[in-house]
Amino acid sequence: MRNRHRGSNLGLLLLASQVFQLGIDNIPPVTLATLGLNVYLFLFPVKPLLQ
């Protein structure tokens, strides 16, 4: 589980760099909201997979 957490930080960093490279103004608000919700659910799942 520890390697997944380290990799998720790298993935989120790459995602953020792509969003800022493209420009937040060029992405529709609904898409940004959906992206934010997906990131939140990835970091804090409703029910943990491994207990």
Tens of pLDDT, residues 3-49: 455 566 888 899 999 999 999 999 999 999 999 999 898 888 888 76
Residue 50 CA to residue 4 CA, distance in Å, equals 12
Domain ranges of the chain: 2-43
First to last CA, the chain: 11
Q: What angle do CA 19, 16, 43 make, to 5 degrees?
A: 130
pLDDT of residue 43: 84
Q: Is pTM beyond 0.95 here?
A: no
Q: Quote the tokens at residue 45.
A: 């799942």
Question: What element of type H or E holds 36?
Answer: helix 29-43
